[in-house]
A = this chain, B = another copy of it.
Amino acid sequence: MKNIFIIGCGLLGSSLLRRIHKKKLCPKIFVYEKSKKNIRKIKKLKLPGVIVKKPEDAVRQSELIIFCTPMSEYKKVIININSHLRSNHIITDVGSSKLMSIKMIKKNLKKNISWTSSHPITGSEVSGPENGKQSLFENKWCVLIKEKRSKIKHIKFLNSFWRKMGSKTVLMSAEKHDKIFSITSHLPHLIAYNLVKSAQDFEKMQKYDLLKFSAGGLRDFSRIAASNEIMWRDIFFDNKKNISRAINLFIKNLNSFQKDISTKSNKSILKKLIQTKKVRSKIIQLKLDTNKPDFGRN
């Protein structure tokens, strides 16, 4: 493989950087990072790669370009690198929402340039290059977006690339992707943020010091709700139609739970509480989590 260019060196970008370096995939890895604070961290951590001052500086020398910035940064970078792009460039990104971002990319990207979107299903509540690790993608799914105009050659190239990152790959349309992840990822994060916000409001109203009693459930949500706010704003805005539908379904079900509780409908509530266990069993069967009981982290 020729050189690789990573644009945006936070949690995901720096993890790719570490992995590509470890696997010796290419002669040079270029890195562009907007934040001066992050650049200082990258230098202090002695991460591999050549840091470039402007994104346009590394495009011509690279075969593969990977966008790892928040999705709201794509447009600006595309405009800056457009004139340097050629049709044999393989371009991808790691954004968590696809339909709207692909629309925006098509609108702004120079003609005859192809972009093949990726979404590695991995991450953490922490961000920044100091938290990246080369094993971040290992045994995780990476979704590759297949569209009518996708270049099979580029999909094959990226399929092989993500497998070298340690991921399992799957092809999907942008539409299906955004629907699935609105439920399995975007809604859970929104719900976690919303629960923590509600606890804060309650604490203010009641003037209770309640966080010290958060071990019974709130604690686990607070971890998810500590995720990067720019990334999540971008995802919520980008996938707003599916997320709004997911919120409606969620509220409909919550109203039904509330009714069961207020009327003490034994059968109806037990049916709900038992059914959800099936999901847990499937998730453990799929080896997406261990069946080791969780008693809180110490």
A residues with a Cβ closer than 8 A to B are 96, 121-126, 131, 133, 136, 139-141, 143, 176, 179-181, 183-203, 206, 208, 210-226, 229-230, 232-233, 236-237, 240, 243-244, 246-247, 249-251, 253-255, 257-258, 260-262, 264, 266, 269-270, 272-280, 282-283, 286, 288-290, 292-298
For residue A290, give the distance in angstroms from its CB to the closest CB of chain B: 5
- On whether the beta carbons of B294 and A196 are closer than 8 Å, the reply is no
Of the residues B202, B212, B233, contact of A183 by C-beta under 8 Å: B202
- On whether the beta carbons of A225 and B195 are closer than 8 Å, the reply is no
- On whether the beta carbons of A254 and B188 are closer than 8 Å, the reply is no
Of the residues B184, B221, B266, B272, contact of A199 by C-beta under 8 Å: B184
Bound CA–CA A298/B288 (angstroms):
8
Bound CA–CA A236/B262 (angstroms):
9
Oligomer: number of copies: 2
Bound CA–CA A261/B277 (angstroms):
31
Of the residues B212, B244, B260, B292, contact of A261 by C-beta under 8 Å: B244
- On whether the beta carbons of B294 and A198 are closer than 8 Å, the reply is no
- On whether the beta carbons of B295 and A124 are closer than 8 Å, the reply is yes
